[in-house]
Chain A
Amino acid sequence: MTNYSKQLQHHEPSSGHEHIKIGLAGNPNVGKTTLFNHLTGLHQHVGNWPGKTVEKAEGHLKHGKYTIDIVDLPGNYALSAHSIEEIVSRDFIVDESSDVIVNVLDANNLERNLYLTTQMMELGANLVIAINMNKFAKKRGYRIDMEKLSILLGIPVVEIEARDDVGREELLKAVENAKKNPIDGSKKLVYGTEIQDHLLKLQNIVEEDESLLDTPPSWTAIKLLENDEVVKEKVEKSIIKDKVLKEVEKLNKHFHDVFNESSEEVIANNRYAFIDGLLNEVVTRPEVEAPTITEKIDKIVINRILGLPIFLIIMWLIFQVTFAIGTPLQEPFEYIFSIGGDLVPKILGENIYSSFIVDGLINGVGGVLVFIPLIFLMFLMISVLEDSGYLARAAFVMDRVMHKFVGLHGKSFIPMILGFGCGVPGVMATRTMEHERDRILTMLLIPFMSCTARLPIYTLFVGAFFTAYQGEVIFSLYFLGVIVAIIVATILKRVLFKGITTPFVMELPTYKLPSLKGVLIHTWEKTYGFIRKAGTIILATSIIIWLLSSFPAGVEYGSHESVIGQIGNVATPIFAPLGFGYWQPTVALIFGIVAKEVIVSTFSSLFGVVEDGSGIGLALQGIFTPLTAFAFLVFVLLYVPCFSFLATVKKESNSWKWPLILLSVTIITAYTTSFIVYHLGLLIGFH
């Protein structure tokens, strides 16, 4: 809540036990989240802002007689109305019952960091400034007069180091003081004379309507000149709308005539001029700046020749660690569940209850838990890459490729690569992207990267049909997946994401040694989030599949006579144009939606043969030809990855819309491609 709106309310009666609610605000990469982790430790939880896909981290700590509730706001460069993250922060400052906003600044980058500060001052926030990374700045020869900065801004300024206890006490004291003696930042901010008078005039007009006064009128005036959609919408409803908009129009024209610039530029210029004036008084920099460590590292890491090889080696490492270490770690989980699967029928006997526990519950819970090693390791490494500053470089190196071929951001490369291992961690890795549309489009393309769970199916089929060309056939599938992804991306860009390209405006932050605590907290939060949210959906669907496979009562599990077998029977003609219109592959494909691994075991149980033996190959040769087998593999490659994937997309996009679109896009793509492959094959003379 801004002081401005607070002044309009009555004072709340104070009780003995005191709560202070603070928001942590600041640019990305300033150590805001490090400070948050350091202050709250494990007393935090991560959710979403109501109705938004933006992550909200909340935590608390006890300090003396106070309980301090902390909200980690999204990292912002500005507070305009043009991204959800910025609106979230702005609304928090204006609406929520927050007492103090702690603005974290990087001592090495005050100029740009203060741009956000000026905007929070405009908004009348009750600010405390915490300047971080002073050690590094001092080493570079920067001298910052904190006291003078505090006096000139009229805001308390504290020197901190977010990763240890330096300045912790001072910061908490300053917060408690700020709660007792709130200040209104908007009063301290003075822009250049050439705009100040004009702003004042507009402000006076705004003040005529009380309904516009829940935010400082000076802020409303600035935002109107900045053409801010949210503020404009609010003014549209006001009784003095015509008068206000007429004045805005007049000022826009005036600025254009005098400065030959838009009002937005004039205001940005004035904010930076204010900051320049401030820093001239407060900061002394060395005459010649020695190259920083970051500059030295970047000389190698984004070097013309070395940049790509270094990137590829790091990708290879992520992939290796996630899957080479993660896959064996999955085994104990699988082992426990297989023991459970053996034990339950022995105790309860072979009946509907034991079947429910084994085929429904254990499969469902197991389906969630086997992913944990992969997700944990992948997030561990992504967190290290992100916190160290390399992730931005990876995006910088790969942007050309991603932009040219799929119209995506450089950052989408990592999720795609992970997709070759498992799509679920791939989808979760899309979090590193700032723009929702990039995240969604990447999620829609990951299924076409052939994941490891599909490999057993390929192996089974090439063994039975393509003994002479095993490697070539499997490679052709991987390759086809990538080509299809590029084509689908081109189509989706035209249909769903019309005319949208995300600019590649990205800060390349200084390299930092990631903190163990931060990385572990981050990794745990993500893993736990997966278990909790995606897990529920996976369990529920497993139970539904069990019901469909077990009824009507008395049928063999998943057999021709069960509901799912009947569905398979009815759906069979759909696959006739693809060359494999038989009920067994149809049922296998339906089960394959649950998880790809299930396809092989479904075949073996439908044919009544053991999974590993050659019997299954012979049985397959009974209904497939080499051509229809390949068409089937193409379908397996491209259609719905698995329930866990859909559940993760639901969780990450925070809506059912995208998993449903994904379902349709993958099925349509699989059907079309498989159809083309089959009929081209027939034309060439295969059968």
Chain B
Amino acid sequence: MKKEEFNTTKSLNELKTGEEGTIVSYNDNGEMKLKRHLLGMGFVKGAKIKLEKVAPLGDPIKLKIKGYSISLRKNEAKNIEVGVN
């Protein structure tokens, strides 16, 4: 999955509710442990990911990936870049 294949790319936390994207890169920003954990949870390049809901107080967010739902805080999602068409 290359960035060029998509119209636009943005950070995962910038997806709108109900919007789906494809993971194109994951900059760990030194947080290797979090990245390693998320890799295991299916946050690999090319994986489709959808923002299902934002928590009532605006953070965290509920995402759908690989057929299940997971929550992340926005500042943990911002290092993940997704391509959207």
Residues of A within 8 A of B (CB): 77-78, 80, 82, 108-112, 115, 226, 261, 264-265, 268-269, 272, 294-295, 298, 302-305, 307-308, 392, 396-397, 399-401, 403, 410, 503-509
Contacts and interface: CB of A to CB of B under 8 A. Distances in A.
Interface in B33-47: 33-42, 44-47
A112 B56 contact: no
The 10 closest A-B pairs by CB, nearest first: A78-B40, A400-B57, A307-B56, A268-B39, A508-B69, A504-B73, A111-B66, A112-B66, A109-B68, A503-B34
Nearest to A285: B67
Contacts of A269: 44-46
Contact of B39 (A108, A265, A302, A400): A265
B46 to A, nearest CB: 8
A111 B55 CA distance: 26
A115 B53 CA distance: 26
A82 B42 contact: no
Contacts of A506: 70-71
B77 to A, nearest CB: 10
B14 interface: no
Nearest to A109: B68
Contacts of B70: 505-508
B67 A108 contact: yes
Interface centre among A112, A298, A307, A504 (most CB of B within 10 A): A504
Interface residues of B, number: 35
A509 B40 CA distance: 17
Contacts of A110: 67
Given A397-B55, A399-B60, A264 B73 contact: no
Interface in B11-26: 26
16 contacts: A77-B41, A80-B40, A82-B33, A82-B36, A112-B66, A298-B53, A302-B53, A302-B55, A304-B54, A392-B71, A399-B73, A504-B73, A505-B41, A506-B71, A508-B70, A508-B71
A392 B60 CA distance: 12
Contacts of B5: none
Contacts of B68: 109, 112, 507, 509
B62 A508 contact: yes
B55 A77 contact: no
Contact of A265 (B26, B53, B67): B26
A552 B56 CA distance: 62
Given A298-B53, A396-B55, 15 more contacts: A82-B36, A109-B66, A111-B66, A112-B68, A268-B39, A268-B44, A269-B46, A298-B69, A302-B62, A307-B56, A397-B55, A399-B59, A400-B55, A503-B31, A503-B34
A304 B57 CA distance: 8
A264 B44 contact: no
Contact of A272 (B37, B44, B55, B60): B44
B59 to A, nearest CB: 5
Contacts of B44: 265, 268-269, 272
